[in-house]
Amino acid sequence: DARVTQTPRHKVTEMGQEVTMRCQPILGHNTVFWYRQTMMQGLELLAYFRNRAPLDDSGMPKDRFSAEMPDATLATLKIQPSEPRDSAVYFCASGLYGPLSGTQYFGPGTRLTVL
């Protein structure tokens, strides 16, 4: 049963610290998405990749967030320095790009708390 995996599942850190979240997409999927979910804003798209190339990261605060995909099995989202307003659940999702497809499969999320 193929699944998207994310680590860590929970992270508590202090303001100013660097946070790195990792995602392993489903094998064979060529598109990866990073989302952030909060009660106030709902689900927001931060960035996404196709065939490891970043296509859009307009949803990310550029000064502190960065997303990379060093290889097909790993996507990372970094926050440096972290701020309390970054507290949220961060989801990674993967999918297979194509004209008739579009289903995104989500990982379990990383619950981030910045004190």
Partner 1 sequence: AQKITQTQPGMFVQEKEAVTLDCTYDTSDQSYGLFWYKQPSSGEMIFLIYQGSYDEQNATEGRYSLNFQKARKSANLVISASQLGDSAMYFCAMREAMDSNYQLIWGAGTKLIIKP
Nearest CA among 71, 88, 81, 84 for reference residue 23: 71
Q: Which stretch binds partner 1 (CB under 8 A): 11-19, 64-72, 80-88, 99-107?
A: 99-107
Q: What are phi and psi of 85, to 5 degrees?
A: -70, -10
- By CB under 8 A, what part of segment 16-75 binds partner 1? 31, 42-43, 45, 48, 50, 55-56
Q: Which helix (H) or strand (E) holds 70?
A: strand 65-71
Among 29, 76, 87, 106, binds partner 1 (CB under 8 A): 106
| 108 part of the interface to partner 1, by CB under 8 A | yes
| 79 part of the interface to partner 1, by CB under 8 A | no
Task: Tell whether the torsion through CA atoms of 7, 13, 15 and 17 is positive or negative.
Answer: negative
DSSP 8-state code for residue 25? P
Shortest spacing between CB 25 and partner 1, in angstroms: 14
Would you say 24 or 104 has its CB closer to partner 1? Answer: 104
